[in-house]
Structure 1
């Protein structure tokens, strides 16, 4: 089942931009004003997580504010959050914890239902824990508290395995899968797993998050927030990404972030066999959102005979001519990245696995 339609469009605004991983003081940001601006541009789908502390709290307050609720009916919004991940190295996928997390999210958003709830970074827990958490979300869907159930994580192939196992074991498929850093100018390997996700997994829609690879694919490198440098990219990849950014800038004043976003949105729209190609954008400020929306509009186009208003939701079709015109720049960046094309880091990494092993031995 696919929660996206003409009322939501092809774009989601991600909430990580209001997390301590990304910025030093998220509470100082004008969140309500920023969300209202995003809504005025046609963005209707929003994604966050309790793990993106304090993003869910800040977004919940914004979406509960009368200044927003009087303008935008709840039925016009697509609110997505996650559950199960507590901190960088702590997870709780137990059914009581999953239920408590969802109920807390409902309270934070002052809503009677959430459109999508994902298990957060599902590859970090055992399959039995993952199945138990998803079973609980299915129960809450049957109770009307959740409209769609999803799983999220880093490696698309692992997510496909889990989606297939859920369908085979629980007798129903997850509606949405969210993966990140696997459909961008450095890594397009999500495409290899789409067939299995949609086929054996029965997934309704796949979402592509982190089109800039968590800030790596831009001038200036990865963002450093209150929690320090959390990005797992090794030095070699960082150096090549920086070199590519300098090269793009030298091409008539090009912008690496904008080029990377054009590639991610365009390539996903091109290869997504269901024709959705929904991308989760970053943007914790009005300026960032404006820049990202304008970039999307240069990649997608309005359907002939469709809504001619300047609303992002009406941009649904890949602009093939513009996508092809960017080809030399895309190739130049990928040539510089060279051996790092389609590189993926381990998730979970060796340090996490060792810590979990020690914890089990001590218990």
Structure 2
């Protein structure tokens, strides 16, 4: 099933911009005002996670505020969160923990249902743990607490494997898959798994998160929050990304804008089902405005579009803009060279070694 439709458009606002991984003091940001501004532009779908501390708490308060609820009915919104990941190296996919996490999220958003709940970074746990957590989410879906069940993680091929096994095991598919850093100007590996996700996996919609590769594909490099430099990109990739950004900026273009245009345009071009959704960052009104205007450059209004200011009207790939950018796209990818389509290990060797030691101790 696909939780998105013409009322939601093709864009989701991600909540990681209000996490300590990204910024130093998320609680100082005007979250309610920023969300209201996003809604005024036509954004109706929002994604967060308890792991993006304190994003879920801040967003939950915003979406529970009378200033918002008086203007936007709950039925007009798509609220998505995750479960299973506790910290950078701690996961709990046990059925009681999954249920408790979802119930806590429901309370934080003051709602009696969530539109999508994902298992967070599913590649970090065993297949049995993953299937057990998904079974619990299916049960909560049957209870009416969740409208759609999803899985999220980094490697698209792994997510496709899980999706196929879920369908074979339970006789029903996961509704939504969210992957990140795999449909952008540096890495387009998601293309190779779309057919299997939609086909054998029966997935309703695929979400493309981190179109700027968690801040790597912009001038200035990766963001540093309270938790320090968490980005897994190796030094060589960082250096080439910085070189590409300088080259783009020297031509009077913004690396962030170009990267987002590529991610949105390329996904719209290759996603034959036309269901793919891009998750935008934007922890401030200024960032949201910039990102929305960039998306509107690459996606033109559909035939029945009425309001130019509403992002939901922009659903069709603008072939002229895409073609005009192709020389810049090629220039960036030429500079990236051997790092094009590079994928880091997830989980990495350090995490696996730590888990091995913990098992030996127990």
TM-score (norm 1): 0.99
1:303 Cα deviation after fit: 1.4
Aligned position for 2:121? 121
Match of 1:133 in 2: 133
1:81-160 matches, cutoff 5 A: 81-160=81-160
Q: SS of the counterpart of 1:298?
A: helix
Residue 170 of structure 1: how far off its partner (Å): 1.3
CA deviation map 1:6-25 (0-9, x unaligned): 11000000000000000000
Q: How many angstroms apart in 1 are the aligned matches of 2:17 and 2:9? A: 21
The Cα shift of 1:261 comes to 0.1
Preserved contact between residue 265 and residue 277 of structure 1 (Cα < 8 Å): no
Which 5+ residue runs of structure 2 have no aligned equivalent? none
Give the SS at the match of 2:186. coil
Task: Give the distance between the partners of 1:204 and 1:303, measured in 2 at CA.
Answer: 22
Distance 1:212 1:96 in 2: 35
**What secondary structure is seen at the aligned counterpart in 2 of 1:201?**
coil
Distance in 1 (alpha carbons) for counterparts of 2:169 and 2:353: 29
C-alpha distance in structure 2 between counterparts of 1:7 and 1:309, whole Å: 15
- Cα deviations by residue, 1:24-50 (Å, 9 ceiling, x for unpaired): 000000000000000000000000000
Structure 1, gaps ≥5 residues long: none
Structure 2 residue 271 is the aligned partner of structure 1 residue 272: yes
Aligned partner of 2:254 in structure 1 is 255
CA contact (8 A) 1:23 1:226 kept: yes
Q: Would the aligned equivalents of 2:173 and 2:202 in 1 still touch at CA under 8 Å?
A: yes
Shift of 1:308: 3.4
Q: Are residue 38 (structure 1) and residue 38 (structure 2) matched?
A: yes
Contact 2:305/2:314 (8 A) holds in 1: no
RMSD: 0.6
Partner residue in 1 for 2:189: 189
Q: C-alpha deviations, 1:285-330, integer Å up to 9, x for none?
A: 0000000000000000001233234200000000001100000000
Distance 1:163 1:189 in 2: 17
Count, aligned residues: 362
In 2, Cα distance between the equivalents of 1:315 and 1:306? 8
In 2, Cα distance between equivalents of 1:332 and 1:10 = 27
Q: Is residue 12–residue 46 contact of structure 1 (8 Å, CA) maintained in 2? A: yes
Shift of 1:95: 0.2
- SS of 1:354's partner is helix
1:338 is paired with a residue of what secondary structure? helix
Following superposition, the deviation at residue 277 of structure 1 comes to: 2.6
Which residue of structure 2 lines up, in the alignment, with residue 288 of structure 1? 287
Matched, 1:214 2:214: yes
In 2: Cα distance, 1:306 partner to 1:45 partner: 19
Partner of 2:355: 356
Aligned-pair CA distance for 1:276: 2.1
Q: Structure 2 length normalisation: TM-score?
A: 0.99
Which residue does the alignment assign to 1:169? 169
The residue aligned with 1:307 is 306
Rounded Cα–Cα distance in structure 1 between residues aligned with 2:221 and 2:109? 33
Counterpart secondary structure, 2:111: coil
